[in-house]
């Protein structure tokens, strides 16, 4: 639930663009390229990316713990990032990783590199690089690498890492991840990554490239071993970024990268935690902990069942009522430490810590009920963004982070198909499918967000399988009636290397959502299921508030 948690607050921290999200990052473990959760593009130089005494999520809340499982308390590895201007031949350490494009590794008639930098490095190594690249058919394609173990040279290992035919924030991030993976395999503690930039690269692009490489390297080291009895320790201590220049701007970028990495890893851990460990109460406790650790800019309000009843959140409470674990409505508020607030924004995340489907229980092949711990991926993205934002401390913006946390279970008191629930804006909903529960919780969360006086809302949710069918496992769908907000989010996605696709809010499809006994049903037919889900959410957003919905069901895992 966090690949998408990928929310990119990159532009949110910019004085020129008040807000933007870009779901970033995935929490998926099977492919490191999906392991990002969102991005806040800011940052640098040499700061350990766990900044402060932040502990990895330990879930210390007192509770009856099914299975007696407790995650091991672990500190994030302290890795320093630094941008340096140094001759590659002079660098000393464990791995010298040289990023190359397909053009960079082109050879002449003597099978020697045409690229002057590679010529120089290959000459120093007695032609070993050119020979190895030929033997291993290394052509610089993205994902390719060839690594030499050396003696008598400044670096113990020298490797070429392909980034393909073009460069982007995604290719640079993947470069960082590939090098981090090599460092883990070889137990390297000091690594240098040369960033391949074109001769006409702008001054602005160099810090951004270094930032993306640092994000990739930091996330590439992450392994969630909290629930394993044995695990290897990460030994990587420092990453030098070469070829991108140095100075205050790039150092700031690298510092921000550390803040973002800590937020992304926090979100990944939330998604990975099993439902018997991460209950709604524990999710609320984690949110409260974030606020207490950053009390200069963050405050927390947790609403219990009675307080939610007072706010008439019948849609949310209807989902939560069947579970023995009570719901917790989470509201974190970020306010800048100094200066005036020029924009008020909200991030709303779906927070189903487990989804059985309710009476429309998930059954049969492909139902993935065993993965339904990830149904809180939207909330993980939102809380990860809160953690990162609290460390970055952008000025001029107030941000509300809202999660209606609960479980969707089955009991004699549970919501039944055919029941009618009433949301906090007074609209009634005929529940024709209890497994379309996420939108019911989001309905009241969106109403609550609008009541905070915000100008823009972005919600993130693992909402529909229909979106996965439409866009596949690695692309999130976005919906918005606002071209301006959609443009901001898509721009942030491009800057951070995330994959989003804008889908239509086809109003004519709303006909399938009409009920004969209530204002609406909670799900239409199979055709256009992701679109009708977005149209449902739209009913709970004030017309004067810009709103964007991210359906991250595919990239979350």
C-alpha to C-alpha distance for 402 and 224, rounded to whole angstroms: 26
CA nearest to 320, candidates 370, 366, 365, 354 = 354
Domains of the chain plus CATH, in order, are 80-224+232-257 (3.40.220.10), 273-551 (3.40.630.10)
Select which of 362, 393, 427, 502 is catalytic.
362
Contact between 399 and 332 (Cβ < 8 Å): no
Residue recorded with tokens 């939330």:
270
Q: What is the pLDDT along the chain (557 residues), one digit of tens a residue?
A: 333 333 344 334 333 332 223 333 333 333 333 233 233 322 222 233 333 333 444 433 434 467 777 787 777 667 899 999 999 999 999 999 999 999 999 999 888 999 999 999 999 999 999 999 999 999 999 999 999 999 889 999 999 999 999 888 999 999 999 999 999 999 999 999 999 987 777 878 899 999 999 999 999 998 888 888 887 777 899 999 999 999 999 999 999 999 999 999 999 999 999 999 999 999 999 999 999 999 999 999 999 999 999 999 999 999 999 999 999 999 999 999 999 999 999 999 999 999 999 999 999 888 999 999 999 999 999 999 999 999 999 999 999 999 999 999 999 999 999 999 999 999 999 999 999 999 999 999 999 999 999 999 999 999 999 999 999 999 999 999 999 999 999 999 998 889 999 999 999 999 999 999 999 999 998 899 999 999 999 999 999 999 999 999 999 98
3-state SS of 99-151? EECCCCCCECCCCCECCHHHHHHHHHCCCHHHHHHHHCCCCCCCCCEEEEECC
3-state class of 176 per DSSP? helix
Edge-first strand listing for the sheet containing 520-521: 420-422, 428-430, 520-521
pLDDT at res. 65 = 66
Token pair of 188 as six digits:
């390297």
Q: Which residues pair with 238 in a beta bridge?
A: 80, 190
C-alpha to C-alpha distance for 177 and 556, rounded to whole angstroms: 18
CA nearest to 539, candidates 518, 511, 519 = 519
Query: Phi and psi for 131 in degrees, rounded to 5?
Result: -65, -45
CA nearest to 286, candidates 448, 442, 56 = 56
Distances (CA, A) of 47 to 52, 262, 442: 10, 12, 37
Catalytic status, residue 439: yes
Q: What angle do CA 524, 530, 534 make, to 5 degrees?
A: 85
Radius of gyration of the chain (CA): 24
Residue 49 neighbours by CB under 8 Å, 6+ apart: 76, 78, 79, 81, 218, 257, 258, 259, 261, 262
Contact between 531 and 463 (Cβ < 8 Å): no
Sign of CA dihedral 193, 199, 200, 202: positive
Contact between 417 and 349 (Cβ < 8 Å): no
Terminal CA-to-CA distance of the chain, rounded, Å?
Answer: 5
Contact between 40 and 215 (Cβ < 8 Å): no
3-state class of 441 per DSSP? helix
CA nearest to 506, candidates 475, 538, 484 = 538
pLDDT at res. 62 = 37
pLDDT at res. 335 = 97
Residue recorded with tokens 């690498």:
145
Token pair of 23 as six digits:
């779901």
C-alpha to C-alpha distance for 29 and 318, rounded to whole angstroms: 33
Query: Phi and psi for 34 in degrees, rounded to 5?
Result: -95, 0
Count of helices and strands (H, E) across the chain: 13, 19
Select which of 206, 387, 439, 456 is catalytic.
439
Catalytic status, residue 362: yes
Contact between 2 and 25 (Cβ < 8 Å): yes
């Amino acid at each position: 639930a966090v690949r998408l948690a990928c929310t990119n607050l990159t532009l949110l921290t910019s004085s020129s663009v008040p807000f933007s999200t870009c779901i970033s990052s995935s929490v998926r473990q099977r492919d490191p390229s999906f392991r990002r959760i969102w991005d806040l593009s800011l940052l640098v130089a040499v700061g350990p990316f766990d900044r402060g005494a932040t502990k990895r999520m330990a879930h210390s809340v007192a509770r009856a713990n099914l299975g007696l499982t407790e995650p091991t308390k672990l500190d994030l590895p302290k890795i320093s990032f630094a941008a340096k201007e140094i001759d590659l031949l002079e660098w000393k350490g464990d791995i010298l990783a040289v990023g190359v494009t397909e053009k960079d590794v082109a050879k002449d008639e003597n099978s020697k590199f045409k690229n002057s930098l590679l010529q120089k490095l290959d000459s120093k190594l007695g032609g070993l690089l050119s020979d190895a690249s030929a033997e291993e058919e290394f052509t610089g394609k993205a994902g390719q690498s060839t690594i030499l173990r050396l003696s008598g040279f400044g670096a113990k290992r020298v490797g070429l890492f392909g980034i393909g035919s073009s460069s982007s924030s995604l290719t640079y991030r993947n470069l960082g991840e590939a090098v981090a993976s090599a460092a883990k395999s070889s137990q390297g503690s000091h690594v240098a990554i040369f960033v391949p930039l074109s001769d006409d690269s702008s001054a602005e692009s160099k810090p951004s490239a270094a930032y993306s490489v640092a994000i990739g390297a930091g996330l590439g080291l992450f392994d969630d071993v909290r629930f394993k009895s044995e695990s290897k320790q990460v030994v990587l201590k420092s990453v030098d970024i070469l070829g991108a220049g140095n100075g205050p701007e790039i150092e700031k970028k690298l510092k921000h990268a550390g803040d973002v990495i800590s937020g992304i890893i926090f979100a990944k851990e939330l998604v990975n935690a099993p439902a018997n460990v991460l209950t709604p109460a524990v999710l609320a406790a984690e949110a409260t902990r974030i606020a207490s650790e950053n009390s200069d800019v963050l405050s927390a309000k947790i609403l219990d069942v009675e307080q939610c009843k007072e706010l008439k959140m019948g849609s949310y409470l209807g989902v939560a009522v069947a579970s023995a674990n009570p719901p917790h409505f989470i509201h974190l508020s970020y306010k800048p430490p100094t200066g005036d607030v020029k924009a008020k924004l909200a991030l709303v995340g779906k927070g189903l810590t487990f989804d059985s489907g309710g009476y429309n229980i998930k059954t049969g092949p492909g139902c993935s009920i065993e993965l339904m711990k990830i149904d809180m991926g939207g909330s993980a993205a939102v809380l990860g963004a809160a953690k990162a934002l609290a460390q970055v401390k952008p000025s001029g913006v107030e941000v509300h982070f809202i999660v209606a946390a609960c479980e969707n279970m089955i009991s004699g008191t549970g919501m039944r198909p055919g029941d009618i629930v009433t949301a906090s804006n007074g609209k009634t909903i005929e529940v024709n499918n209890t497994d379309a529960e996420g939108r019911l919780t989001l309905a009241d969360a969106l109403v609550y967000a609008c009541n905070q006086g915000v100008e823009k809302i972005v919600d993130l949710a693992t909402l529909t399988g229909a979106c996965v069918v439409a866009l596949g496992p690695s692309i999130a769908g976005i919906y918005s009636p606002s071209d301006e907000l959609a443009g901001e989010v898509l721009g942030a996605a491009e800057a951070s290397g995330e994959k989003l696709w804008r889908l239509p809010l086809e109003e004519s499809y709303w006909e399938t959502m009409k009920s004969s006994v209530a204002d609406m049903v909670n799900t239409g037919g199979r055709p256009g299921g992701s679109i009708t889900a977005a149209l449902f959410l739209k009913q709970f957003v004030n017309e004067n508030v810009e709103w964007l919905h991210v359906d991250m069901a595919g990239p979350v895992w």
